[in-house]
Chains A and B, each alone.
Chain A
Amino acid sequence: MKLYCLSGHPTLPCNVLKFKSTTIMLDCGLDMTSTLNFLPLPLVQSPRLSKLPGWVLKDGSTFLDKELKECSGHVFVDSVPEFCLPETELLDLSTVDVILISNYHCMMALPYITEYTGFTGTVYATEPTVQIGRLLMEELVNSIERVPKAQSASMWKNKEVQRLLPAPLKDAVEVSMWRKCYTMPEVNAALSKIQMVGYSQKIELFGAVQVTPLSSGYALGSSNWIIQSHYEKVSYVSGSSLLTTHPQPMDQASLKNSDVLILTGLTQIPTANPDGMVGEFCSNLAMTVRNGGNVLVPCYPSGVIYDLLECLYQYIDSAGLSNVPFYFISPVANSSLEFSQIFAEWLCHNKQTKVYLPEPPFPHAELIQTNKLKHYPSIHGDFSNDFKQPCVVFTGHPSLRFGDVVHFMELWGKSSLNTVIFTEPDFSYLDALAPYQPLAMKCVYCPIDTRLNFIQVSKLLKEVQPLHVVCPEQYTQPPPTQSHRTDLMIDCQPPPMSYRRAEVLTLPYKRRYEKIEIMPELADSLVPLEIKPGISLATVSAVLHTKDNKHVLQLPPKPPQPPASKKRKRVSDDVPECKPLKPLLSGSIPVDQFVQTLEKHGFSDVKVEDTAKGHIVLLQEAETLIQIEEDSTHIICDNDEPLRVKLRDLVLKFLQKF
Chain B
Amino acid sequence: MRGGVAEQARQGGEGRWGGAGAAGPRCGEGKGRGARRECALWGARWVVRPEDSWGCRGRPCSGRRAAADSRCWPDEGSVTGGRCWGAGRRLASSPGLFLEVPPCETKVASGRRWTAGVSDAGLKAGHRSGREQEPFSYSILLEMSCLSSFSLGPGAGQDVGRSCILVSIAGKNVMLDCGMHMGYNDDRRFPDFSYITQNGRLTDFLDCVIISHFHLDHCGALPYFSEMVGYDGPIYMTHPTKAICPILLEDYRKITVDKKGETNFFTSQMIKDCMKKVVAVHLHQTVQVDEELEIKAYYAGHVLGAAMFQIKVGCESVVYTVSIHNNMYRNLHLLLRVAAWIDKCRPDLLISESTYATTIRDSKRCRERDFLKKVHETVERGGKVLIPVFALGRAQELCILLETFWERMNLKAPIYFSTGLTEKANHYYKLFITWTNQKIRKTFVQRNMFEFKHIKAFDRAFADNPGPMVVFATPGMLHAGQSLQIFRKWAGNEKNMVIMPGYCVQGTVGHKILSGQRKLEMEGRQIVSFLLSKDDHFGKGGGGSKCFLIQEACAFFSLQLEVKMQVEYMSFSAHADAKGIMQLIRQAEPRNVLLVHGEAKKMEFLKQKIEQEFHVNCYMPANGETTTIFTNPSIPVDISLGLLKRETAIGLLPDVKKPKLMHGTLIMKDNSFRLVSPEQALKELGLAEHQLRFTCRVHIQDLRKEHETVLRVYNHLKAVLKDYSVQHLPDGSITVESILIQATAHSEDQGTKVLLVSWTYQDEELGSYLTSLLKKGLPQSTS
A-side residues, CB < 8 A to B, are 127, 197-202, 212, 230-231, 334-335, 338-339, 341-345, 352, 355-356, 358, 360-361, 511-521, 523-546, 551-554, 556, 571-572, 574-576, 578-589, 630-639, 641, 644-645, 648, 651-652, 655-656, 658
Which partner residue on chain B sits nearest A341 by CB separation? Answer: B431
Cβ contact of A538, chosen from B92, B243, B774, cutoff 8 A: B92
Interface status of B401 (Cβ within 8 A of chain A)? no
Complexed CA–CA distance, A655 and B761 (Å): 12
The answer to whether the Cβ of B697 comes within 8 Å of any Cβ in the partner chain is: yes
Please tell me if the beta carbons of A524 and B286 are within 8 angstroms of each other in the complex.
no
Which residue of A has the minimal Cβ distance to B243?
A: A356
B674 at the binding interface (Cβ < 8 Å): yes
Instruction: Verify B662–A631 contact, CB threshold 8 A.
Output: no
B690 located at the interface, meaning its Cβ lies under 8 Å from any Cβ of chain A in the complex? yes
Q: B92: which of A528, A638, A644 is its contact (CB, 8 Å)?
A: A528
- A residues in contact with B636, CB < 8 Å: 515-518
Distance of A468 Cα from B632 Cα, bound (Å):
40
Select which of B20, B280, B685, B692 is within 8 A of A352 by beta carbon: B280
Q: Does B550 contact A (CB under 8 A)?
A: no
Cβ contact within 8 Å between A644 and B694: yes
Which residues on the B side are within 8 Å of A517 (C-beta)?
634-637
Are B445 and A574 touching (Cβ within 8 A)? no
Minimum C-beta distance from A125 to chain B (A)? 13
13 contacts across the A-B interface (CB closer than 8 A): A358-B424, A527-B92, A528-B99, A539-B664, A541-B662, A542-B662, A584-B762, A585-B691, A585-B692, A586-B689, A586-B690, A631-B688, A635-B692
Chain A residues within 8 Å of B675, by CB: 516, 540, 553
Contact between B286 and A543, CB atoms less than 8 A apart: no
Q: Which residues of chain B come closer than 8 Å to A638, judged between CB atoms? A: 696-697
Q: How far is the CB of B619 from chain A (nearest CB, A)?
A: 22
Nearest-neighbour CB distance to chain A for B321, whole angstroms, equals 18
Tell whether A580 pairs with B765 under 8 Å between CB atoms, given A513-B638, A524-B80: yes
B661: which A residues are within 8 A, CB to CB? Answer: 541-544, 556, 578-579, 581
Contacts of A355 in B (CB 8 A): 239, 243, 431-432
Chain A residue contacts of B656, Cβ below 8 A: 546
Apart from A528-B92, A528-B666, A586-B682, what are 9 other A-B pairs with CB-CB below 8 Å? A518-B666, A528-B99, A534-B17, A579-B661, A579-B766, A583-B663, A584-B679, A631-B690, A633-B691
Neighbouring B residues of A652 by C-beta, 8 Å: 692
CB of A332, distance to nearest CB on chain B (Å): 9
Known: A342-B434, A530-B17, A644-B696. A576 touches B286 (CB 8 A): no
The answer to whether A546 and B434 have CB atoms under 8 Å apart is: no
Whether B666 contacts A358 by the Cβ 8 Å rule is no
- A576 in contact with B639 (CB, 8 Å): no
Instruction: Note all chain B residues with C-beta closer than 8 A to A546.
Output: 648, 656
Q: Nearest chain A CB to B780's CB is how many angstroms away?
A: 14
- Which residue of chain B has its CB nearest to the CB of A524? B81
The range of chain B's interface size is 35 or more
Residue from B17, B690, B762, B774 within 8 A of A536 (CB atoms): B17
Complex CA distance for A335 and B258, rounded to whole angstroms = 44
Residues of chain A within 8 A (CB-CB) of B771 are 639, 641
Q: Hey, which chain A residues are within 8 Å of B424, CB to CB?
A: 358
Q: Is the CB of A585 within 8 A of B666?
A: no
Q: A197-B284, A198-B285, A524-B81 are in contact. Are A531 and B660 (CB under 8 A)?
A: no
**Which residue of B427, B637, B688, B769 contacts A575 across the interface (Cβ within 8 Å)?**
B769
Instruction: Give the Cβ gap from A250 to chain B, nearest Cβ, in Å.
Output: 16
- Are B689 and A585 within 8 A (Cβ)? yes
User: Looking across the interface, which residue of chain A has its beta carbon closest to that of B696?
Assistant: A639
Contacts of B243 in A (CB 8 A): 344, 355-356, 358
**Is B588 interfacial (CB-CB < 8 Å)?**
no
- Smallest beta-carbon distance B519→chain A, Å: 43
B662, A342: Cβ atoms closer than 8 Å: no
Find B431's partner among A342, A576, A644 (CB 8 Å cutoff): A342
Q: Flag whether B568 is at the interface (Cβ < 8 A).
A: no
CB distance from B749 to the nearest CB of A (A): 15
A339 and B445 contact, Cβ closer than 8 Å, known pairs A514-B644, A588-B690: yes
Total inter-chain residue pairs, C-beta < 8 Å: 304
**Residues of chain A lying within 8 A (CB to CB) of residue B722:** 572, 575
Per the 8 Å Cβ criterion, residues 270-292 of B in contact with A are 280, 282-287
- A328 CB to nearest B CB, Å: 14
Q: Which of A521, A527, A644 sits near B94, CB closer than 8 Å?
A: A527
Question: Could you tell me if B690 and A655 are in contact, using CB atoms closer than 8 angstroms?
Answer: yes
Task: State the Cβ distance, B164 to closest chain A Cβ, in Å.
Answer: 24
Are A520 and B678 in touch, CB under 8 angstroms?
no
- Stretch touching chain A among B48-56, B83-91, B348-356: B83-91
Q: In chain B, what residue has the closest Cβ to A572?
A: B720
With beta carbons under 8 angstroms apart, the residue of B284, B433, B633, B768 that contacts A520 is B633
Residues of A within 8 A of B330 (CB): none
Contact of A655 among B82, B659, B692 (CB under 8 A): B692
* Set A536, A632, A637: member contacting B692, Cβ < 8 A: A632
Contact partners of A556 in chain B: CB under 8 A: 661
How far is it, in angstroms, between the C-alpha of A140 and the C-alpha of B89 when the chains are bound?
Answer: 63
Assembly CA distance A532 to B660 (angstroms): 31
**What's the Cα separation between A528 and B685 when bound, in Å?**
15
CA of A447 to CA of B285, assembled, Å: 34
Verify if B776 is at the interface (C-beta below 8 Å from A): yes
Top 5 closest pairs, chain A to chain B, by CB: A198-B282, A527-B92, A580-B765, A581-B663, A584-B678
| Interface presence of B668 (CB below 8 A) | yes
The smallest beta-carbon distance between B60 and chain A, in angstroms, is 13
Task: For B761, give the chain A residue with the smallest CB separation.
Answer: A582
CB distance from B76 to the nearest CB of A (A): 16
CB-based contact A540/B284 at 8 Å = no
**Cβ-based interface call for B372 (8 A):** no
A338 touches which of B90, B444, B763, B774 (Cβ 8 Å) = B444
Q: Which residues of B lie under 8 Å from residue A338 when comparing CB positions?
A: 444-445
Given contacts A539-B678, A575-B721, A635-B695, contact A641 B772 (CB under 8 A): yes
Whether B635 and A520, one on each chain, are in contact in the complex, defined by CB atoms closer than 8 angstroms, is yes
Q: When the two chains form their complex, are residues A536 and B641 in contact, meaning their CB atoms are under 8 A apart?
A: no
Whole-angstrom distance between the Cβ of A124 and the nearest chain B Cβ: 12
Give CA–CA (A216, B694) in the complex, Å.
Answer: 66
Question: Which chain A residue shows the least CB distance to B635?
Answer: A518
A344 to B287, CA, bound (A): 18
Closest Cβ of chain A: how far from B512's Cβ, in Å? Answer: 36
For residue A543, which residue of chain B has the nearest CB?
B659
Instruction: Give Cα distance in the complex from A517 to B637, angstroms.
Output: 6
Closest to B721 in A: A575
Chain B residues contacting A658 (CB-CB under 8 Å) are: 665, 678, 681-682
Known: A582-B762, A588-B690, A639-B696. A552 touches B634 (CB 8 A): yes
Nearest-Cβ distance from residue A375 to partner chain B, whole angstroms: 11
State the Cβ distance, A526 to closest chain B Cβ, in Å.
5
Would B97 and A530 count as touching, CB distance under 8 A? yes
- B residues near A574, Cβ cutoff 8 Å: 769
Q: Mark B277-321, 1 if CB is under 8 A from A, else 0.
A: 000101111110000000000000000000000000000000000
Q: Is B362 an interface residue (CB 8 A)?
A: no
Residue from A537, A582, A630, A634 in contact with B693 in the complex, judged by beta carbons closer than 8 Å: A634
* Minimum Cβ distance to chain B for residue A497 (Å): 23
Which single residue of chain B is at the shortest CB-CB distance from A588? B690
Contacts of B377 in A (CB 8 A): none
Please, how many angstroms separate the alpha-carbon atoms of A343 and B239 in the complex? Answer: 11
Decide if A635 touches B693 in the complex (CB within 8 Å): yes
- Assess the A523–B668 pair: CB atoms within 8 A: no
**Minimum Cβ distance to chain A for residue B4 (Å):** 16
Give the interface centre of B17, B431, B695 by most chain A CB atoms within 10 Å: B431
Q: Quick check: is B699 within 8 A (CB to CB) of the other chain?
A: yes
CB of A584 within 8 A of CB of B434, answer: no
Chain B CB within 10 Å, residue with most, of A512, A524, A539, A580: A524
CB distance from B127 to the nearest CB of A (A): 37
